Structure 1
Amino acid sequence: MAGQDWFAILFNVHEHIYKVLFLIVSLIGLKPVFMNPKIDD
């Protein structure tokens, strides 16, 4: 039973990590869009 709980916790942690990575990738991907107008000026 304890093994299943550990697996569930590990799965939840990985799910959060993937969400954070996706958010970081999205921010990095959008950053040039916001930065370019300032550079062009």
Structure 2
Amino acid sequence: MEEIKTGRYRHFKGNEYRVLYIAKHSETLEPMVVYQALYGEYGI
């Protein structure tokens, strides 16, 4: 699996996001990306 680094990313449609950290699903331990939108209400 490709390593995902924290930082700012731009979606191909133009919106920007900040990857905050990589979490693990509590049941499957599958890695999950936690990110924040850098537009609108800046939701996580």
TM category (shorter chain) comes to: under 0.3
Greater RCO, 1 or 2 (C-alpha within 8 Å, sep 6+):
2
TM, length-normalised to structure 2: 0.18
Give the structure with the higher percent helix: 1
Which of the pair is proportionally richer in strand?
2
Q: Which of the pair has more CA radius of gyration?
A: 1
